[in-house]
Amino acid sequence: MVHFSQFTDWFRRRRNFPGDLPPDSPVLQNILDAQARRLREVDPDTTRQWQFLNLVLRRGSSPERKRSVPGAFRLLNPAVSFGGIAVIAVIVAGVIWMNRSSLLTYVTGRGEQSSIILPDSSQVVLNHTSTLVVESRPFDDTRHVSLTGEAYFHARKNGSPFVVSTDVGTVQVLGTEFDVRIRGGQLVVGVLSGSVKVTARRDGRDSSVVLMAGQITTCMADKYPASPGQLPFADYPGWTKGKLLFYKTSVSAVCEEIESQFDVQVILENPHTGIETITGAIDGRSAAIALAALSNLTGNKLRHENNRFTLY
């Protein structure tokens, strides 16, 4: 890695900087704004970092605040040189580069799926409208991913834990095949081989359940994981094989799943239908076939107009 002093020396050689400029100088502000726009294209979090940097610069030029500035920020005094700004810019760019290089992000849209090979050779199939964030270095030692949406994992066993974090709870394994679904504030975890531990933290307390092969559990955003139940499906998780499998899922969540899977619009005319829950398998070859099956399960009729389906 190149040392910061090498960056600043390079900056000074490449730029013919004039004398020191005050932090409220229009010329200095133009440089800051231009650098911010460039770095913002690299990482969206640049906006927040740059706002903080500008705030520190502004405070540095205020007489009543000079005494409170710690020694580490002495270069941010009322006379900040271009060389100082170059150092700041290099530091910010370096932080952004380190953040980006240590994270890998995978995203799928409506109707999309994606197969992923992780740095430890574990395999992931990412379902539609999902996001997987992978801490890439050193992944073999601390295997940690974050998930929104749904993904099927085949975690390679290498002696270190494999942890999947969601907004509702975490799933920890050593090596196994399992599916994690986090949508609408509901976490569903099913295990095909091996075992996993599902943990949720509420009010400062942890509650965990252990799932063995052939078991499934659910966990709502404000509750603890339910006791494990037996997987009611022979071909779980189904969506990797063209089927839609639902376990104690509300009809409204099923409709949202079909909307995202096939990029269609589904309307429930009876609001009470949406709060009913179902457990079952639906043929997922097309939106029309899936919704026809759902209408039979719920006792509703189905109307289809262009790309819009209505259960009534």
Helix then strand then coil, % of the chain, to nearest 5: 35, 35, 30
Domains 103-230 and 242-311 share a fold: no
CA atoms within 13 A on the CB side of 148: 11
- Within 8 A by CB and 6+ apart from 148, the residues are 130, 131, 166, 167, 182
The answer to whether 177 and 193 are in contact (CB under 8 A) is yes
Torsion from C-alpha of 244, 177, 133, 150, nearest 10 degrees: 10
- pLDDT of amino acid 127: 97
Q: How far apart are CA 295 and CA 70, in angstroms?
A: 67
Q: Give CA separation, 213 vs 78, 152, 238, 243, in Å.
A: 65, 14, 16, 21
- pLDDT of amino acid 255: 95
Q: Say which CATH class 103-230 falls into.
A: mainly beta
Tokens of 195: 């075992």
The type of residue at 224 is Y
- List per-block mean pLDDT (blocks of 10 residues) for the chain, which spans 312 residues: 39 42 54 53 46 43 37 38 46 42 87 93 96 83 92 93 95 92 94 96 90 96 94 91 90 94 94 91 93 92 93 94
Cα Rg for the chain, rounded, in angstroms? 26
Q: Give CA separation, 6 vs 66, 97, 236, in Å.
A: 30, 17, 55
User: Is the domain covering 242-311 a CATH 3.55.50.30 domain?
Assistant: yes
Q: What is the pTM of this model?
A: 0.64
pLDDT digits (tens, 9 = 90+) for 11-61: 344 444 444 445 555 555 555 555 555 544 444 444 444 444 444 444 444
73-81 — which CB contacts under 8 Å span 24+ positions? 76/23, 78/22, 78/23, 79/20, 79/21, 79/22, 80/20, 80/21, 80/22, 80/23, 80/28, 81/17, 81/19, 81/20, 81/21
- pLDDT of amino acid 308: 95
Q: Where are the domains of the chain?
A: 4-101, 103-230, 242-311
The answer to whether 157 and 174 are in contact (CB under 8 A) is yes
Of 134, 111, 160, 141, residue with least CA distance to 290: 111
Tokens of 100: 């980006």
- pLDDT of amino acid 100: 45
Q: Which residues of 190-203 are buried (b: 16+ CB within 10 A; e: fewer)?
A: bbbebbbbbbbeee
How do strand 265-268 and strand 308-311 relate by DSSP bridges? Answer: parallel
Q: How far apart are CA 108 and CA 17, in angstroms?
A: 46
